[in-house]
């Protein structure tokens, strides 16, 4: 475990170098499975289980990527996943901000109890609610539609809890001034809390998007065919009754990581260049 290295009293240089060296090694180990994934995506199927294992492919099968792409309607899956994950993220951001503000700042009877109820809904194992949920969807005729993928999944309390934690740390003087000026609560939320909570909102967007991007059980139950299928569902189609396309699966998994990767690069600034709360140093 690392300890906190502080500038005013530097550790002996050797120790610091050792620590950093260890960390770099850790990161390299951590990234190894990705190397293995890409390396396997570029092999012939027969090489995947070669004994002894080889670090690099014998023949670089770059064609696997395009083959995987055409093996299934991958483009369609991609668009579906994008649409669903983005829509859910948008709804979650709005709905959670409102609820989190109420829990963090408004006085109403039963605040604590209601919050516990919100928390309780996070404790429900998905496997048991999918069937009642599916019955509901079929009753309103939503089976095999985008809205069935989006709407029921857009009300997780995860965001409410995350933002509430963040809102609670926002100094109260900030809104008191605005209240005295006669601003409405909604206005305070939009002009004071949302800008201050940018890191938390960024995190929430990132977590929701990646979580939904990889969601599997619900799409499996509610979607009937390639038309509305999402990527994780699509990837399972590489495992047929007629064997597994290991190399295509690896290629497909590699491709499917790109949007999340790009989103993180984009959101990184947003999350980590947040306003230092209560510091008197405004953000940009």
Partner 1 sequence: MPVVSRLAGIVAAVAAIAATGVAKAEPVKLTWLMWSGSEAEVEAWKHVAGLVTEEHPDITVEFQTTSFPDYWTKLPVLAASNQLPDIVSLQAQRAPGFVDLMTPLDDLIEADGFDIDAFDPSIVEGLSRDGERFAIPYDFGPLILYYNRDLFAQAGVPEPKPGWTEAAFNEAARALTTGDRFGFAVSIPDAFMTYALSTGAHYLDEDGELDLTSQGMVDAFKRYAELVSTEKVAPLMPSSGTQSSSMAAARFTSGNVAMHVNGPWQMINIKGKSGFTVGVAPVPAGAAGSISVSAGSGFGISASSPNQEAAWKAIKVMTGPKAEQYLAEQGRAFPARTAQQSFWYDKAAEGVVGAREGIPAAIATARPYATTPAWASVSALFEQYAPVAFAGSESPEEVLETIQALSDQ
Partner 2 sequence: MAQQIARPSLGHPRVLDRARARPAVESYSPTRSDPWTALWFLLPSLLGLILFLVVPLVASLVLSFTNWQIIGQARFVGFSNYVNLTTRDPIFWQVVANTVLFTVEYLLLNIGIALGLAVWISRLSWGKRFFRLAFFLPTFMPMVGIALVWQLMLTPRGLVDGVIALTGLGLPNVLAESTLALQALVLLTLWSHVGYNLMLFGAALESIPESYLDAAAIDGASGWQNFWLIKLPMISPSLFFGTVLTAITTLQAFDQVYALTRGGPGSSTATLGYAIYNQGFVTYKMGYASALAWILFALIMLLTIMQLRLQRRWVHYDQ
Question: 33 is in the binding site of which of partner 1, partner 2, none (Cβ under 5 to 8 A by kind)?
Answer: partner 2
Alpha-carbon distances of 185 from 182, 201, 218, rounded to whole Å? 9, 19, 36
Task: Name the phi and psi angles at 240, rounded to 5.
Answer: -100, -175
Q: Which is nearer to partner 2, 63 or 276 (CB)?
A: 276
- The reply on whether position 143 binds partner 1 by CB under 8 A is yes
- The reply on whether position 138 binds partner 1 by CB under 8 A is yes
Per-residue binder mask for partner 2 (CB under 8 A), 158-197, x = binder: x-xxx--xx-xxxxxxxxx--x-----x------x--xx-
Task: Name the phi and psi angles at 123, rounded to 5.
Answer: -95, 5
Query: Site for partner 2 (CB under 8 A): which residue of 64, 80, 89, 157?
Result: 157
Distance, in Å, from the CA atom of 75 to the CA atom of 93, rounded to the nearest integer, reads 27
- The reply on whether position 240 binds partner 1 by CB under 8 A is yes
Q: Where are the alpha helices (H) located in the chain, listed in sequence order?
A: 13-41, 63-71, 74-105, 111-121, 126-139, 146-150, 158-168, 173-180, 185-188, 194-196, 198-213, 217-222, 231-236, 246-256, 258-272
- The reply on whether position 200 binds partner 2 by CB under 8 A is yes
- The reply on whether position 3 binds partner 2 by CB under 8 A is yes
Instruction: Count the Cβ atoms, other than its own, within 10 Å of residue 194.
Output: 16
- The reply on whether position 127 binds partner 2 by CB under 8 A is yes
- The reply on whether position 118 binds partner 1 by CB under 8 A is no
Q: Which residues bind partner 1 (CB under 8 A)?
A: 44-52, 70-73, 130-131, 134-135, 138, 143-144, 220-221, 224-226, 233, 236-246
């Amino acid at each position: 475990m690392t300890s906190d290295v502080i500038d005013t009293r530097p550790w002996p240089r050797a120790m610091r170098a050792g620590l950093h060296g260890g960390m770099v090694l850790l990161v390299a180990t951590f990234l190894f499975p990705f190397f293995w994934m890409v390396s396997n995506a570029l092999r012939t199927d027969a090489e995947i289980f070669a004994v002894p294992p080889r670090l690099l492919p014998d023949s670089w099968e770059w064609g696997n990527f395009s083959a995987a792409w055409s093996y299934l309607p991958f483009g369609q899956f991609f668009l579906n996943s994008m649409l669903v994950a983005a829509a859910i993220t948008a709804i979650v951001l709005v709905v959670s901000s409102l609820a989190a503000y109420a829990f963090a700042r408004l006085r109403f009877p039963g605040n604590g109890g209601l919050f516990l109820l919100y928390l309780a809904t996070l404790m429900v194992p998905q496997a048991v609610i999918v069937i009642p949920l599916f019955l509901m969807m079929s009753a309103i005729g939503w089976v095999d539609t985008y809205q069935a993928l989006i709407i029921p999944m857009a009300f997780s309390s995860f965001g409410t809890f995350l933002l509430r934690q963040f809102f609670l740390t926002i100094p109260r003087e900030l809104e008191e001034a605005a209240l005295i000026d006669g601003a409405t609560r909604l206005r305070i939320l939009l002009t004071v809390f949302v800008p201050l909570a940018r890191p938390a909102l960024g995190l929430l967007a990132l977590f929701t998007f990646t979580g939904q991007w990889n969601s599997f059980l619900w799409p499996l139950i509610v979607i009937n065919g390639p038309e509305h299928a999402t990527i994780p569902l699509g990837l399972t189609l590489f495992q047929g009754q007629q064997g597994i396309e290991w190399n295509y699966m690896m290629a497909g998994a590699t491709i499917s990581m790109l949007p999340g990767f790009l989103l993180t690069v984009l959101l990184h600034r947003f999350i980590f260049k947040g306003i230092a709360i209560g510091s008197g140093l405004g953000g940009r």
